[in-house]
Amino acid sequence: MCVIMVFSFGILASPLARFLKPTMKPGEFFQAADMPAAVRNVEFNLTDFPADWTCRPFEFQMKYVVFNPEQEQIRKIPGFAVRIAPGNIVAFSRLCPNGRGCILNYKSESCCGCIESTVEQCICAAKRNHAILVCPSHQSTFDLTQGGRVLAGPAPRPPLQFDVIRQGDVISINRLEVGIS
């Protein structure tokens, strides 16, 4: 009786597990978690950033494990890599965190024409003396020197940031921060 129960459980375990996790292969109970991963690293050379505020656009491809015939879906995330100080390169997603699919622009010299006199009151790149990211839809504005802090507009949080790894002269972007969507 006991043997029959163990046998039955053994036969049912795999289909049951695959019902609970459709992307699991037959019998592979311990396969790695379905975490999104870079299709390939984005790489730059240090010479691509000859001066502060040099901005390089890139496209980051992220692979998601999904339950479809290909068992995967590739999403393309546009980004900017920017040198904000000597040896300090940051990379941000260009997807507006306001969640409407808008693409952020890089503004290095814009002036909104406002009459605010102090840097803190004005969001202009020109008055802040460094570039910012701006959403063309509702003018959400982000400070690249402060982790993408929201300076103005309705966006609820900074744009997502990429990990930037430097090995010698090679700048490698291989991961989007946790919280990806």
Stretch that binds ligand FES, among 45-53, 84-92, 152-160, 163-171 (CB under 6 A): 152-160
Q: Which helix (H) or strand (E) holds 20?
A: helix 2-20
Residues 104, 133 contacting (CB under 8 angstroms): yes
140 binds ligand FES (CB under 6 A): yes
List residues bridging with 135 in a β-sheet.
none
Binding residue (CB under 6 A) for ligand FES from 18, 127, 130, 138: 138
- Beta-carbon contacts of 93 under 8 Å, excluding residues fewer than 6 positions away, are 60, 77, 78, 79, 159, 160, 161, 162, 176
Binding residue (CB under 6 A) for ligand FES from 155, 160, 171, 173: 155
Binding residue (CB under 6 A) for ligand FES from 72, 153, 164, 174: 153
62 binds ligand FES (CB under 6 A): no
- Rule CB under 6 A: which residues touch ligand FES? 96, 98, 100, 102, 135, 137-138, 140, 153-155
